[in-house]
Amino acid sequence: MRHQYHPLGFEGSRIAQGFWRCHEWEMSVSERLDFIMSCLDLGVTTFDHADIYGDYRCEGLFGEALAKKPAMRDKMEIVTKCGILLPSESRPDISVHRYDYRAKHIHESVDRSLANLQCDYIDTLLLHRPSPLMDADEVAQAFDLLFTLGKVKHFGVSNFTPAQFDLLQSRLDAPLIVNQIELSPLSLAPFEDGTLDHLQQHAVTPMAWSPLAGGELFRGNGDRVVRVKEVVSDIAKSMGVNFDQVVIAWLLRHPSGICPVMGSGKIERLASVCQAANIVLSDDDWFKIWITSQGHPVP
């Protein structure tokens, strides 16, 4: 008998909170707990991790806080990633920065993540980067066992092309429900290379990492960045909203259902961004940002 997977796709919050920089936030355990609880109060219930974040430390920092109030686990969706081997003082067993999607490594990574996060299951496990040595059949077997054991509920990928996505999906009974990709007004490739069209076709949720272009939209001074900043600022001023709200609203406006992953450890920044869900950009304003970033009119 084949295992029965949940028929629904991604059921996380419209905006996710990322923890890839939480080791830089210099928060105590109680401050981390307060931050997570405040996220939940804002309706941000999806928390994004990876085993390697913060030199393999960030999952553990989150887990320390979660352990102080484990009842929170039922109110959140935890996303984490595996597959990157990163040489580190904390991982002397890793000598080369590379990828590993052997079943053994996937299982070991999930067990470490569960121990670090101090929880019993992962809502969605993503393969962090595509590997030229990925054996889709072996990955499928690993996923199937992880689901059967109750360690992972859903699966997805990150930074996969449509062809790489389809290869893995062809071996799976369960639908891949997420592809986490770089998306922002300065990262337009997925809009143009078929990635978002492919995800929309298959009802897969795009999660956007670096939706504010890794801070480049605030700090950058190149010609393209300056052009985009000016047009976003003009739109924000005309609508009486904040700059970052316009950027996030621009992503939310896309019909593929993009879920931006925010990275700030300041709850007031997240609270501001959450208001972007109430902002609907006109087609004119959406295309102003698009055209400005491309540097030429639409054909």
Mean pLDDT by 10 residues, the chain (299 residues): 49 96 97 98 98 97 98 98 93 93 98 98 98 98 98 98 98 96 98 96 96 95 96 98 98 97 97 96 98 96
Which amino acid is present at 51? D
CA distance linking residue 60 with residue 47, whole number of Å: 13
Give CA–CA dist 2/177, Å, rounded.
19
pLDDT of residue 8: 56
Distance (Å, whole) CA 296 – CA 196: 21
| Res 89: pLDDT | 86
3-state secondary structure of 89: coil
Residue 91's pLDDT is 86
Nearest to 166 by CA among 118, 202, 123, 126: 202
- All residues at 6 or more sequence positions from 27 whose CB lies less than 8 Å from its CB, including other chains: 35, 265
| The predicted structure's pLDDT at residue 198 | 97
Q: Which of 16, 63, 88, 50 is nearest to 251 (CA)?
A: 16
Q: Tell me what pLDDT residue 7 has.
A: 44
For the chain, give the number of residues.
Answer: 299
What pLDDT score was predicted for residue 32?
98
How far apart are alpha carbons 124 and 10 in whole angstroms?
A: 9
| Known active-site residue 56 | no
User: Tokens 């199937």 map to which residue?
Assistant: 144
pLDDT score, position 245: 98
Q: Can you read off the two tokens belonging to residue 184? A: 């922002």
Evaluated on CA atoms 63, 68, 70, 74, the torsion sign reads: negative
- The predicted structure's pLDDT at residue 9: 76
Terminal Cα-to-Cα distance of the chain (whole angstroms): 53
Q: 243: phi > 0 → left, psi -120 to 50 → alpha, else beta; which?
A: alpha
Give pLDDT, residue 2.
34
User: Which is catalytic among the residues 5, 53, 56, 121?
Assistant: 53
